Amino acid sequence: MNSRSIDFWKTVLALLIIMIPWLESNPLSGQELQLASVTRNASANDIGFRVDADIYADQSKPPIAQFKTLFTGNKSIEIDIASGDVVVVDSSLGVIQAFSASRRVMTEIELTKIESMLQETLTQSPSEQPPTITTEEGNLVVGDSVVQYRSKTQTPQVPIVAVRYIEFADWTTKLSAVFPPYKPPQLRLKLNEQLKNETLLPLETKRTTRVKSGTQEIVSKLIVNYSLSIDDNKEIARVAGMVKDYKIVAAKEFFARK
């Protein structure tokens, strides 16, 4: 080893001696360590994280529905906490899989077919007026004369989390437009588009519908977990097993009895 190499390692050792007391008194928190791990892999397809959603009809009461969505590799897996029903968007296979836990049946639909059905639906039922898009008090607002979405947004600590979540929300919106419950998708898709353009997460979204008796409000609140737990990975494995265990039926039959 030459003198230059010896000097280099002496410098490294000196720096370590100086830094160790600081690191002991300023350790990274669990969240910081978690984020550091996620950030290193933020551009990879195998990033894993979870989004929990609580849905409220009245925020003074318990949620009317709860979901957890697990993002792993090319899959996004939404699990209905109450029913156990599952929706999987698999971009590598180009399909959506839907599972009914009570009936133990599943269906599989190609993403290209959903897109084709959606375009046909939009052609047959065009919007009566273009939606308005504004920002009010830091909220992203998209609406028309009947329905309004108001989202409190946040820039995620890892940008790909917003991208993956909005892509999943796009596909579930499209699915609900072409199969029961046949929800009009235009406003939600426009909201998703704006969120994607700005790389934002909709942490709280209020959907207000004007009816003859007044207004109806549904509020969705999200909590983002920037990693997958041991239990989350068990759920992913369980859903993979459902593909083998559940009887596959046509989409029309699956959604007619859902």
> 175-192 pLDDT, tens per residue?
999 999 999 999 999 999
Mean local confidence (pLDDT), 191-214: 94
* Coil/strand/helix, residue 95: strand
Looking at residue 170, its pLDDT comes to 97
For a pLDDT cut of 90, what percent of the chain falls above it? 71
Q: Are residues 9 and 121 in the same domain?
A: no
Q: Are residues 27 and 115 in the same domain?
A: no
**205: DSSP letter:** E
Q: Are residues 26 and 118 in the same domain?
A: no
Instruction: Tell me the average pLDDT of the chain.
Output: 86
Q: Are residues 229 and 210 in the same domain?
A: yes
- Least confident range from 78-87, 103-112, 127-136: namely 127-136
The band of 67, judged by pLDDT with boundaries at 50, 70 and 90, is very high
- pLDDT beyond 70 at 3: no
Enter the tokens of residue 253.
């039959």
Beta bridge partners of 100: 105
Q: Are residues 15 and 91 in the same domain?
A: no
Domain containing 55 equals 41-256
Q: Are residues 120 and 27 in the same domain?
A: no
For a pLDDT cut of 70, what percent of the chain falls above it? 81
Mean local confidence (pLDDT), 118-145: 87
Q: Are residues 19 and 51 in the same domain?
A: no
- pLDDT beyond 50 at 19: no
Q: Contact, 70 vs 228, CB < 8 A?
A: yes
CA atoms of 45 and 249, how far apart (whole Å): 30
Q: Are residues 26 and 71 in the same domain?
A: no
Of the chain, the end-to-end C-alpha distance in Å amounts to: 73
> Structural domain tally of the chain?
2
- Least confident range from 38-47, 138-147, 157-166: namely 38-47
- pLDDT beyond 50 at 151: yes
One-letter amino acid of 235: E
Q: Are residues 28 and 54 in the same domain?
A: no
CA atoms of 205 and 59, how far apart (whole Å): 12
Q: Are residues 91 and 127 in the same domain?
A: yes
Q: What is the chain's Cα-based Rg?
A: 23
Q: Are residues 160 and 222 in the same domain?
A: yes
- pLDDT beyond 60 at 2: no
Task: Please state the pTM of the whole predicted model.
Answer: 0.81
